[in-house]
Amino acid sequence: MNAIPSASSVQTVHVPLGERAYDILIGPGLIARAGAEIASRLKGRKAAVITDENVAPLYLEALVASLEEAGIASAAVVLPAGEKTKSFEHLITACDKVLEARVERNDYVIALGGGVIGDLSGFAAGIVRRGVRFVQVPTSLLSQVDSSVGGKTGINSRHGKNLIGVFHQPDLVLADTDVLNTLSEREFRAGYAEVAKYGLIDKPDFFAWLEANWKAVFAGGSARIEAIAASCQAKADVVVADERENGQRALLNLGHTFGHALEAATAYDSSRLVHGEGVSIGMVLAHEFSARMNLASPDDARRVERHLQEVGLPTRMSDIPGALPPAETLMDAIAQDKKVKSGKLTFILTRGIGQSFVADDVPASEVISFLREKHP
| Active-site amino acid positions | 130, 152, 194, 235, 245, 249, 253, 256, 260, 275
∠ CA 158-161-162, nearest 5°, is 115
Determine phi and psi for 176, rounding to 5 degrees: -80, 110
Say if residue 159 carries a ligand binding annotation: no
Nearest to 186 by CA among 85, 280, 86: 280
Say if residue 194 carries a ligand binding annotation: yes
Say if residue 119 carries a ligand binding annotation: yes
Say if residue 84 carries a ligand binding annotation: no
Say if residue 256 carries a ligand binding annotation: yes
SS3 87: coil
Beta-strand ranges (E) seen in 286-373 are 347-350, 356-359
Buried b (16+ CB within 10 A) or exposed e, 162-173: bebbeebbbbbb
Report the 10 Å Cβ neighbour count for 202: 20
Say if residue 115 carries a ligand binding annotation: yes
Q: In what order do the strands lie in the sheet with 73-79?
A: 11-15, 22-27, 172-176, 133-138, 108-113, 46-52, 73-79
Say if residue 118 carries a ligand binding annotation: yes
Residue 79 burial (C-beta neighbours within 10 Å; 0-12, 13-18, 19+): buried
Say if residue 14 carries a ligand binding annotation: no
The percent helix, strand, coil of the chain (3-state, each to 5) is 50, 15, 30
Say if residue 139 carries a ligand binding annotation: yes
Say if residue 342 carries a ligand binding annotation: no
In sequence order, the 6+-apart residues with CB closer than 8 A to the CB of 27 are 7, 8, 9, 10, 11, 175, 176, 177, 225
Distance CA 171, CA 132 (A): 10
Say if residue 89 carries a ligand binding annotation: no
Determine phi and psi for 74, rounding to 5 degrees: -140, 155
Say if residue 182 carries a ligand binding annotation: no
The conformation of residue 342, written as its DSSP 8-state character, comes to T
Binding residues for Zn(2+): 194, 256, 275
Binding residues for NAD(+): 115-119, 139-140, 152, 161
Binding residues: 115-119, 139-140, 152, 161, 194, 256, 275
